[in-house]
């Protein structure tokens, strides 16, 4: 009788408070850098303005505006993003429809589709990827000057 109870107790599910946080962890990047961030799952549709202080991996659908300066956006093959994007680095194997501003690099993987104007210092478009829009290649110096001058304009307006 006691042995049956002990088996039942050990078969109980683990309480939610002891489970790890649902944070998406990406594999190490080519430079050896590992990153964590938010995951927008396959069944999720998010509409509106998103401001993020962490990396985002999209497996679902996003519509609106993505502002994530200093952080990376990854769009998987089945994902759809209908938004203007501002990020450090953008990589897509899915669909992005909107203008993209990346301070480091934009990568369109094989099977990926990017429709919109791009502004970035570096771009990679793999064979089998689709891109339609304009590309403005900017140097890191001009990005810093643009940021400095826009800060000066904001201060002057206040």
Choice between 100 and 31, residue whose per-residue pLDDT is larger: 100
Q: What is the pLDDT confidence band of residue 158, given thresholds at 50, 70 and 90?
A: very low
pLDDT at residue 4 in the model:
55
pLDDT at residue 74 in the model:
97
Please answer whether residues 120 and 100 qualify as being in contact, where contact means their C-beta atoms are separated by less than 8 angstroms: yes
pLDDT at 17 over 80: no
pLDDT at residue 140 in the model:
67
Mean pLDDT value across the chain = 79
Q: In this structure, how many other beta carbons lie within 10 angstroms of the beta carbon of residue 32?
A: 6
CA 69 distance to own-chain centroid: 11
Least confident of 24-38, 51-65, 126-140: 24-38
Q: What are the angstrom distances between the C-alpha of 11 and each of 18, 20, 25, 105, 155? A: 16, 19, 29, 49, 62
Query: Rounded CA gap, 86 and 72, in Å?
Result: 9
Beta strands in the chain (DSSP E): 24-25, 36-40, 45-51, 55-58, 61-75, 80-92, 95-97, 100-108, 113-115, 118-120, 123-125, 130-132, 135-137
């Amino acid at each position: 009788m006691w042995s049956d109870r002990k088996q039942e107790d050990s078969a109980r599910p683990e309480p939610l408070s002891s489970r790890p946080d649902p944070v998406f962890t990406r594999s190490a990047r080519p430079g050896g850098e590992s990153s964590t961030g938010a995951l927008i799952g396959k069944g999720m549709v998010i509409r509106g303005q998103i401001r993020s202080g962490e990396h985002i991996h999209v497996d679902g659908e996003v519509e609106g505006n993505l502002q994530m300066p200093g952080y990376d956006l990854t769009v998987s093959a089945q994902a759809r993003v209908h938004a203007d994007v501002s990020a450090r680095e953008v990589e897509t194997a899915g669909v992005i429809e909107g203008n993209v501003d990346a301070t480091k690099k934009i990568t369109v993987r094989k099977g990926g589709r990017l429709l919109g104007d791009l502004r970035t210092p570096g771009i990679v478009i793999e064979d089998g990827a689709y891109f339609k829009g304009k590309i403005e290649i900017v140097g890191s110096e001009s990005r810093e000057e643009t940021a400095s001058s826009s800060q000066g304009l904001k201060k002057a307006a206040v």
